[in-house]
Amino acid sequence: MKDLLRRLIKSALQKGADEAEGYLRQTKNLTIEVKNQKVDTLESSITMGYCIRIIRDKRLGFSYSTDPEEIAVAVDRAIASSAFSEPDECNGLPQHAEVHEVRIFDERIALLRESDAAGYVMGLERAAFAQDSRIKKIRKALGSFSMTDTHIINSHDIDIHYTSTSCSAQMMAIAEEGPESQVGWDYEGNRFLDEVSFGAVGQNAARKAVNLLGAKKISPMKGLILLDSAVVTEFLDILSASLSSEAVQKKKSFFSDKKDEPVASRLINIIDSGLIDGRLGSRPVDAEGVPTKTKILVEQGVLRGLLYNTYTAKKDGRQSTGNAVRSGSGSLPSVGPTNIYIEPVIKDHTTDLRGLQKIIDKGLYVIETMGMHTANPISGDFSVGASGLWIERGEVRYPVKEVVISGNILDLFNNIILVGDDLKFYGNIGSPSLVIEGIDISG
């Protein structure tokens, strides 16, 4: 594969490119869904694609292919496309730099047999049914196992290859009691097989479904809510888009012109790191070959930095933060997080989930939201459906349904009054549970 990219770079330079970059990704993926302890769907695939990005007279050219025999064609297309782009002084490729190691490869996943993988996924169902007799159906019991080879070479001596693995489990269980039914969902993902507990995912999904049986409506109010870590990561996902320098430069971020200003509660830091062993967003370099790093984006509630790739960094006169991402081998680099997560400023002041509930005199523990995609990523305004548990005097009283919570994402993160000790990642986004005040709750 490296030879293919080297030939790609050499050909591009010979045909007039001032700078050239080759990116290749090959993925072996296995996805299994089970039903009634039998494999319902099994998808196994090997995909490969590569692309070339060239700079010629400060004009950008790009092309991609899945055919190793199309090197000359791909180069010609990239050179030709550069003639149709405008010159931009910020166009350019990164230089070689020292790369830090991070553990992201598990031989057990790489060598995993289909029958053994199916056994892990069947464990989701068994755990869910064993959790409670009211679990009557499984809507989804899914496991995914993959191995990816990534190669990045450019004309500035970047020559990178790394292999990564990943494994994930997700479950959607249905609890029934009389005519009523409720759904519960859970997920875990990691680079290492042993770090994903299929049994725990099944149990948690079942527990969430059962806990919602007998749900009632509530009267509108404004008060405290306890957001489950899974729900916080949905809000953090939207907020992370505004931490992109690309979004700020395009005035599509609610963090525009807020550098070194308070943007969240002083109780939290928001960190992005590509160097956490085992996390799904971890990798030694970003999608341009720039080393990943750990950086504090929000420190004690104050905005300290943004996420940059090479282009957006040059535009702001800064260095790339190693946050170039690609949706695939057929795409140009954009900006995105590696592993972005919330941590408490003072870890000794955190408490477990039970402790978070205890401080609530009257409020809602939100364990699921619906319609988060409708939140406005530019203004931060949201109004989403929610379900959860009603709390009075620190105790759960009954489940709640058909609730709407609304507000502004910046206000939500500013109004954090207590941070949990239960940090959990969903994909590459992580958070503990949070207690937040001043949220509108309507039935």
pLDDT tens over the chain, length 443 residues:
788 999 999 999 999 999 999 999 999 999 999 999 999 999 999 999 999 999 999 999 999 999 999 999 999 999 999 999 999 999 999 999 999 999 999 999 999 999 999 999 999 999 999 999 999 999 999 999 999 999 999 999 999 999 999 999 999 999 999 999 999 999 999 999 999 999 999 999 999 999 999 999 888 888 899 999 999 999 999 999 999 999 999 999 999 889 999 999 999 999 999 999 999 999 999 999 999 999 999 999 999 999 999 999 999 999 999 999 999 899 999 999 999 999 999 877 678 889 999 999 999 999 999 999 899 988 899 999 999 999 999 999 999 988 999 999 999 999 999 999 999 999 999 999 999 998 889 87
pLDDT at 10: 96
* Residues whose CB is less than 8 angstroms from the CB of residue 325 and which lie 6 or more positions away in sequence, other chains included: 286, 287, 309, 333, 334, 335, 336
pLDDT digits (tens, 9 = 90+) for 266-300: 999 999 999 999 999 999 999 999 999 999 999 99
User: Alpha carbon of 21 to those of 71, 104, 287, 318, 333: distances in Å?
Assistant: 13, 24, 11, 21, 12
Q: Is the dihedral of CA 440, 416, 353, 374 positive or negative?
A: positive
Q: Is the CB of residue 334 less than 8 Å from the CB of residue 255?
A: no
- Here the tokens at position 237 are 């996902």
Q: Which domains does the chain have, with CATH numbers?
A: 2-211 (3.30.2290.10), 218-443 (no CATH)
Determine the Cα–Cα distance for residues 235 and 407; give it in Å rounded to an integer. Answer: 12
Pick left, alpha or beta for residue 92 (phi over 0 → left; psi -120 to 50 → alpha; otherwise beta). Answer: left
pLDDT digits (tens, 9 = 90+) for 110-136: 999 999 999 999 999 999 999 999 999
Estimate to the nearest angstrom the gap between the alpha carbon of 110 and the chain centroid: 22
pLDDT at 402: 85
pLDDT at 29: 98
**3-state DSSP call for residue 399?**
strand
* Residues whose CB is less than 8 angstroms from the CB of residue 387 and which lie 6 or more positions away in sequence, other chains included: 212, 215, 366, 367, 368, 370, 399, 400, 401, 402, 403
Q: Is the CB of residue 233 less than 8 Å from the CB of residue 413?
A: no
Nearest to 4 by CA among 76, 98, 73, 70: 70
